[in-house]
Chain A
Amino acid sequence: MTDTNMDGPATPQRKNSLMAPDARTKQRNAAEARFKAYGIIAILIGVFFLVVLAASILRNGLPAFTQTVVELEFTLTEEQYNDAESKVLKTAAYKEFLVTAFRENLSERGVEVPFDESAIDRIVGQAGNTLRTYFRANEDQLGQPVTFSLGASSRVDGYFKGRVTREDLSNSRFLNAEDLDIVDVLADVGIMKQQFNWTFVTGKDAGVDNPGGAGIGASVIGSFFMMLVVLMLALPIGVAASIYLEEFAPKNRWTDLIEVNISNLAAVPSIVFGILGLAVFIQLAGLPQSAPLVGGLVLTLMTLPTIIISTRASLKAVPPSIRSAALGVGASKMQSVFHHVLPLAMPGILTGTIIGLAQALGETAPLLLIGMVGFVAREYPDGIVSGFTDANSAMPAQIYTWAARADQAFYEKAWGGIIVLLVFLLAMNVLAIILRRRFERRW
């Protein structure tokens, strides 16, 4: 230690008083404030996007839950019925009755609006067919007044919800400005009004040309059966795999390989799992296309890594003293795990599983590849088995199908579908949080 002697006594330069910050310090503090501001701005941008996203979902999606209907009292005599049924153009005959009923209903209320038959077509769409179907099914209702709620055409619906304006209609052959005058009058006298759209919540996909009749109900069922498959497979397999890896696995190459594999699988793009499902489950194993069973299998494989990772964390959180205590009274390793460690880790495992399920519920891309696209959701399954094997869609795939259609009226349905999907996700996450709060132990 001789080298300090070389420079002799140090001469610390006396600085200004601490009370007066020097120019450099001011500059550095300004840089500090700027840096902090960047951080705040970053957070605000993130929150801003979240707010914009939430706002556009609610603004665009809530109208899907209401529907514009024409409420009309209507009496069909048996004579008229037989007459209409004998004609060649049956629905056209019904439409004539409808026009008459319109005129009567309006004049009862003391309003005179000039309109022709084609305007009725444009305003309430295929109403003639609806009437015919109803009376053919309920012949006993003939001769009695029946109140119909006829769904307005999607453009009239759009006009009520602000999606369609008069300017938009300048050269539309589906609806014109004069029709809107009629619509306004109908709304004024209370024949046309908005009501909750049960069809949307409980209905099925009604095809490309019927946005008004489209509903998400069937695909909710499809999603439900898929989640059932995922739950029944991913939970036991995930827990078994985690128990092995966490409690029994010797440290060797095979377990190393499994570990690396799991962390990599967790990051494989979801669409690759779709390819796997298509090639293995449908082409090789010959399982039916578009079936929730296959969708569930694909999503199981996709969710497994997530569930394994969270389950292992929960198992790890159980202190070793519990294991030693069980082994100390002569339990076998297997008994100590199944009797003590697993029950204690269960809340954490369930929480992780629910979060994994929520992730699977929102997954779209792999479902498209195995054929669970929206337009196959035409029927409700008629039993448990057909729920698993009949062609169906799932919520996110249904939303995709609507979003990809040309008719803009479907966009509203897609946004509405997102609200339904997010309500399910929210419920699952809340459940996970409650589980965690109530049962999770801190050691």
Chain B
Amino acid sequence: MNDMRKIERDVDMNDVKISAKGVQVYYGTTHAIKDVDVLIQDKTVTAFIGPSGCGKSTFLRCLNRMNDTIDICRVTGDIRIDGDDIYDKRVDPVQLRAKVGMVFQKPNPFPKSIYDNVAYGPRIHGMAKNKADLDEIVERALRRGAIWDEVKDRLDAPGTGLSGGQQQRLCIARAVATEPEVLLMDEPCSALDPIATGQVEELIDELRNDYSVVIVTHSMQQAARVSQKTAFFHLGNLVEYGETGQIFTNPQDPRTESYISGKIG
């Protein structure tokens, strides 16, 4: 694929947060991801787009080894974060996931209080020395999740009692509370109404200041709105990867063009 050369031109190697080379994923006998190479930059929003079942979510879940929890899933190839091979035997997925946070398609607050939801990560990773410290971490995370003002008076209320949009922002706050360096988002707005989607998108844009954000989305408009880089997946292949504006206005690959013009999908 000749666009790979183009990526290397465009990307400043010093800024690369995640590099993936020759990644293959198998679900049992199904070949779900075929030889994907990609470089993801720090402090950037990268969008993965493509039709359903194209492997974009599967690939996303490789980046923090969430696929380890699925028995039949097998990953080969080389994925590095800050130069460390995350599939190395010495790497503990637990530590990795603290560094690479994740937000899921459906808001999934734990059946605990709002406070405990956010404090869960910091607690298990032992990030707070005392209660005051934890309070501060929770407040900071909720502020960064743009939900502090809405919940500050009812931190003891159950997280499941919030509205869908609030729940998803709570989940984002929960993810940032462990101070990750990368934030993976798997279709974070697919279960939300347009207003809540708008709020979450705004939040994603702000998060770019601190994190490298990778977002899987079904909606091309959303990719265009929030991302700087876009990767198009089709049938397990990474078809095209580049600046978002360029992918949408001047796609190099005919498949990309068909997809964004609505012919496949």
Interfacial residues, chain A to chain B (CB-CB below 8 A): 1, 3-4, 6-7, 9-10, 12-13, 15, 17-22, 24-25, 28-29
| Inter-chain contacts of A28 with B (CB < 8 A) | 94, 124
Q: Is the CB of B126 within 8 A of A12?
A: no
**Any A CB within 8 A of the CB of B225:** no
Give B115 Cβ to nearest chain A Cβ, in Å: 17
Q: Is the CB of B90 within 8 A of A1?
A: no
| Inter-chain contacts of B95 with A (CB < 8 A) | 15, 18, 21-22, 25
B92 interface neighbour in A1, A7, A10, A29, Cβ under 8 Å: A29
User: In the complex, what distance in Å separates the CA atom of A132 from the CA atom of B203?
Assistant: 104
| Inter-chain contacts of A9 with B (CB < 8 A) | 209-210
Given that A9-B210, A18-B84, A18-B86 are contacting pairs, would A1 and B143 also be in contact in the complex, using a CB cutoff of 8 Å? no
Which of A1, A9, A21, A25 has most B Cβ within 10 Å? A1
Given that A18-B84, A19-B84, A29-B94 are contacting pairs, would A6 and B143 also be in contact in the complex, using a CB cutoff of 8 Å? yes
Binds A, one of B18-26, B144-152, B252-260: B144-152
- In residues 180-217 of chain B, which contact A (Cβ within 8 Å)? 180-181, 199, 202-203, 206, 209-211
B85-117 interface code vs A (CB 8 A; 1 in, 0 out): 010101110111011000000000000000000
| Inter-chain contacts of A13 with B (CB < 8 A) | 179
Given that A3-B148, A10-B179 are contacting pairs, would A25 and B206 also be in contact in the complex, using a CB cutoff of 8 Å? no
Q: Is the CB of B144 within 8 A of A1?
A: no
CB pairs A–B below 8 angstroms (6 shown): A1-B206, A7-B140, A10-B144, A10-B209, A21-B95, A25-B94
**Any A CB within 8 A of the CB of B125:** yes
Which of B95, B125, B143 has most A Cβ within 10 Å? B95
User: In the complex, what distance in Å separates the CA atom of A51 from the CA atom of B23?
Assistant: 48
| Inter-chain contacts of B98 with A (CB < 8 A) | 15
B199 interface neighbour in A1, A12, A18, A29, Cβ under 8 Å: A1
Give A422 Cβ to nearest chain B Cβ, in Å: 36
**Any A CB within 8 A of the CB of B49:** no
| Inter-chain contacts of B143 with A (CB < 8 A) | 3-4, 6-7
Interface size in chain B (residues, C-beta < 8 A): 32
Give B183 Cβ to nearest chain A Cβ, in Å: 11
User: In the complex, what distance in Å separates the CA atom of A19 from the CA atom of B85?
Assistant: 8
**Any A CB within 8 A of the CB of B81:** yes
| Inter-chain contacts of B92 with A (CB < 8 A) | 18, 21, 25, 29
Question: Residue on B with the closest CB to A3?
Answer: B143
| Inter-chain contacts of B99 with A (CB < 8 A) | 15, 18
Question: Residue on B with the closest CB to A20?
Answer: B90
Given that A3-B148, A7-B143, A24-B126 are contacting pairs, would A12 and B181 also be in contact in the complex, using a CB cutoff of 8 Å? yes
Which of A3, A7, A24 has most B Cβ within 10 Å? A3
User: In the complex, what distance in Å separates the CA atom of A25 from the CA atom of B84?
Assistant: 18
Q: Is the CB of B206 within 8 A of A4?
A: yes
User: In the complex, what distance in Å separates the CA atom of A19 from the CA atom of B143?
Assistant: 32
Q: Is the CB of A19 within 8 A of B91?
A: yes
User: In the complex, what distance in Å separates the CA atom of A3 from the CA atom of B211?
Assistant: 18
User: In the complex, what distance in Å separates the CA atom of A4 from the CA atom of B124?
Assistant: 25
B132-161 interface code vs A (CB 8 A; 1 in, 0 out): 000000001001101011000000000000
User: In the complex, what distance in Å separates the CA atom of A28 from the CA atom of B210?
Assistant: 28
| Inter-chain contacts of B86 with A (CB < 8 A) | 18
Give A361 Cβ to nearest chain B Cβ, in Å: 39
Give B258 Cβ to nearest chain A Cβ, in Å: 36
| Inter-chain contacts of A15 with B (CB < 8 A) | 95, 98-99
Give B243 Cβ to nearest chain A Cβ, in Å: 25
Q: Is the CB of B146 within 8 A of A1?
A: yes
Give A413 Cβ to nearest chain B Cβ, in Å: 50
Question: Residue on B with the closest CB to A6?
Answer: B143
Give B163 Cβ to nearest chain A Cβ, in Å: 16
A4 interface neighbour in B91, B144, B179, B211, Cβ under 8 Å: B144
| Inter-chain contacts of B84 with A (CB < 8 A) | 17-19
User: In the complex, what distance in Å separates the CA atom of A9 from the CA atom of B144?
Assistant: 10
Which of B88, B92, B96, B143 has most A Cβ within 10 Å? B92
